[in-house]
């Protein structure tokens, strides 16, 4: 059964049950109150009748008194203690009441009886007769007129319920259509996307701000995200194919050259092997970087330990100078210079080294002058984020900053937002052999910084140089808080 039909059926049945339950309750309450009111009226009237008969019994015959007080539809009688009911009078249409069994009651009795197909109110009131005996004045009065009124009410409620079900039935259909309309549009849009392979959005009515509107709005946002990711995936596949095609072509060309002339020319053999080895190493590095970027945070196997930033920087400087014969100058700002303890943070030493080496390698490739590594406290609004999380931001708790500055060619301002994209190269015409790399370094650096709970950004002036700024939390608690705020 379709959802629209379910809504129609369930709403109609629910409203029908509510109407029926309400009308049954109304009828039950009204009939109970009406009969109780009639019973109270007859009981009160019987008490007055008994008093009048008792006062007049000495002067007037009992039979005459009974005829004077007999109900229009009922019976009145006097019952002695021995159970005699020789004195009774019935109305013209209630002769059958005289055949009922006689019972003497020592106390007042009032009840509703079912005699035949009708209900009656029976009231028995004991009185002291003129000769000193105690007798019962018993009145039995029909509730036929009250029952007729209740029958009219019953039919009225039944007709009203039947008529009310018509708009309920129609409103169930309308409700089903209103609820299903955005879902139908959503389903239709999804079918169009699957059939055409093109991303589409559903139109949202501005006048509506209900849950169905939110569902459509979230669907459109999801489509935006999917389209964005799809475009990035297409670009990534295109760039990855291009980056892999080049080394494979070089390897194939040199292999073919070795196959034709490698045995005759040792110099050509050495050149070909070096080229093939170089491209194979580059492909291996690029593959490892892609695998790292594809991992989730929990798969990075973080090992938090105390890391001394100055010692880490000095070790990197020695390795950097030995590997590339380039000078790396280390600077430490106040108050880190005056307090050695502030240079120790909780982080993963191996991943921090990998992050800094990527940035140092970029600085080396695009500059020929000296490179400066500066350690300082973070001056951005990261601390305010911690303050908003109700954490005290003392000097020891403030995030640490590592700045790597080169004096190279710099990056145009319009290119800065794109430099962290995969395979993106600022100068697309630049020959790879001039700088090396695959365009994944900064992307991987950004990912490592996020895993460490920090961030990395670039500041650059074209033809003057570039500064890579790494911000890291000081403690493991701040790392977790920083990651939560970033998410």
Query: Which residues have C-beta within 8 Å of that of residue 388, sequence separation ≥ 6?
Result: none
Q: How far apart are CA 259 and CA 269, in angstroms?
A: 10
> Between the ranges 118-122, 253-257, 426-430, where is the mean pLDDT highest?
118-122
Cα–Cα distance for residue pair 307/352, rounded to 1 Å: 9
Cβ 444 vs Cβ 258: under 8 Å: no
Determine how β-strand 371-377 pairs with β-strand 328-332.
parallel
432 band by pLDDT with thresholds 50, 70 and 90: very low
In three-state secondary structure terms, 324 is helix
Is the pLDDT at 391 greater than 50, yes or no? no
- The CATH architecture that domain 211-292 belongs to is Orthogonal Bundle (1.10)
Give the HSE-up count for residue 356: Cα atoms under 13 Å, Cβ half-sphere: 28
Predicted confidence (pLDDT) per residue in 130-161, tens digit: 777 888 888 999 998 888 999 999 899 889 88
Residue 24 has pLDDT above 70, yes or no: yes
Sign of CA dihedral 319, 322, 325, 330: positive
| Mean pLDDT on 478-487 | 48
The CA–CA distances, whole Å, from 83 to 27, 65, 77, 106, 138 equal 39, 20, 11, 12, 12
- Map out the domains of the chain as residue ranges: 3-150, 211-292, 297-486
Q: Compute the average pLDDT of residues 213-228.
A: 83
Instruction: Give me the pLDDT at residue 204, please.
Output: 75
Q: What percent of the chain has pLDDT over 70?
A: 82
Give dist(CA 63, CA 66) in Å, integer.
5
Angle at 25 between CA 19 and CA 31, to 5 degrees: 130
Q: Is 421:427 a contact under the CB 8 Å cutoff?
A: no
* Predicted pLDDT of residue 439: 67
The dihedrals phi and psi of 110, each to the nearest 5 degrees, come to: -145, 125
CATH no. of 3-150: 3.30.450
- Whole-number Å distance between alpha carbons of 184 and 120: 62
| pLDDT at site 64 | 80
Q: Which residues of 313-322 are buried (b: 16+ CB within 10 A; e: fewer)?
A: beebbeebee
At residue 340, does pLDDT exceed 70? yes
Q: pLDDT at position 3, please?
A: 66
Q: Tokens for 482, please give them.
A: 């920083």
Query: What pTM value is reported for the model?
Result: 0.46
Kindly report the CATH number that applies to the domain delimited by 297-486. 3.30.565.10
What does the CA dihedral 78, 73, 156, 114 come to, rounded to 10 degrees?
40
pLDDT band at 375 (very low <50, low <70, confident <90, very high): very high
Alpha carbons within 13 A on the beta-carbon side of 97: 26
- Averaged confidence pLDDT in the chain: 79
pLDDT band at 293 (very low <50, low <70, confident <90, very high): low
104 and 125 in contact (C-beta within 8 Å)? no
Torsions phi, psi of 273, nearest 5?
Answer: -65, -40
Residue 264 pLDDT exceeds 60: yes
Q: Is the pLDDT of residue 95 over 90?
A: no
481 versus 207: the higher-pLDDT residue is 207
CA distance 66 to 48: 13
What pLDDT band is residue 55 in, cutting at 50, 70 and 90? confident
> What is the rounded distance in angstroms from the CA atom of residue 286 to the CA atom of residue 169?
66
């Amino acid at each position: 059964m379709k959802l629209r039909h379910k809504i129609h059926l369930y709403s109609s049945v629910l409203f029908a049950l509510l109407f029926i339950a309400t009308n049954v309750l109304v009828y039950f309450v009204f009939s109970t109150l009406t009969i109780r009111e009639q019973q109270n009226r007859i009981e009160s009237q019987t008490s007055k009748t008994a008093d009048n008969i008792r006062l007049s019994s000495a002067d007037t015959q009992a039979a005459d008194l009974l005829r004077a007080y007999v109900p229009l539809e009922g019976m009145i009688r006097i019952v002695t203690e021995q159970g005699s009911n020789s004195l009774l009078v019935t109305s013209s249409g209630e002769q059958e009441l005289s055949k009922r069994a006689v019972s003497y009651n020592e106390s007042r009795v009032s009840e509703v009886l079912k005699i035949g197909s009708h209900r009656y109110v029976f009231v028995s009131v004991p009185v002291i007769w003129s000769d000193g005996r105690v007798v019962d004045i018993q009145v039995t009065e029909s509730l036929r007129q009250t029952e007729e009124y209740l029958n009219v009410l019953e039919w009225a409620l039944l007709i009203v319920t039947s008529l009310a079900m018509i708009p309920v039935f129609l409103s169930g259909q309308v409700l089903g259509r209103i609820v299903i309309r955005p879902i139908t549009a959503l389903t239709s849009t999804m079918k169009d996307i699957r059939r055409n392979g093109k991303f589409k959005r559903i139109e949202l009515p501005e006048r509506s701000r209900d849950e169905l509107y939110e569902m459509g709005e979230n669907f459109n946002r999801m489509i935006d995200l999917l389209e964005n990711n799809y475009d990035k995936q297409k670009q990534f596949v295109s760039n990855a194919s291009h980056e892999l095609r080049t080394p494979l072509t070089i390897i194939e060309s040199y292999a073919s050259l070795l196959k034709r002339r490698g045995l005759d020319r040792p110099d050509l053999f050495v050149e070909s092997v070096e080229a093939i080895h170089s491209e194979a190493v580059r492909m291996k590095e690029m593959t490892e970087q892609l695998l790292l970027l594809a991992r989730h945070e929990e798969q990075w196997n973080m090992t938090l330990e105390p890391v001394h930033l100055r010692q880490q920087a000095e070790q990197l400087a020695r390795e950097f100078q030995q590997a590339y014969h380039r000078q790396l100058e280390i600077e430490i700002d106040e108050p880190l210079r005056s307090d050695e303890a502030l240079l120790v943070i909780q982080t993963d030493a191996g991943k921090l080294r990998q992050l800094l080496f990527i940035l140092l390698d970029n600085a080396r490739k695009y500059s020929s002058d000296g490179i400066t590594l500066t350690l300082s406290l973070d001056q951005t609004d990261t601390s305010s984020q911690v303050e908003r999380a109700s954490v005290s931001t003392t000097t020891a708790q403030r995030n640490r900053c590592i700045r790597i500055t080169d004096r190279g060619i710099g990056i145009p301002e319009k290119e800065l937002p794109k430099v962290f994209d995969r395979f993106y190269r600022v100068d697309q015409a630049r020959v790879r052999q001039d700088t090396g790399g695959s365009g994944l370094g900064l992307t991987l650096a950004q990912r490592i910084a996020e895993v460490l709970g920090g961030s990395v950004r670039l500041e650059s002036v074209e033809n003057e140089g570039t500064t890579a700024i790494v911000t890291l939390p000081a403690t493991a608690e701040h790392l977790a808080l920083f990651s939560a705020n970033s998410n």
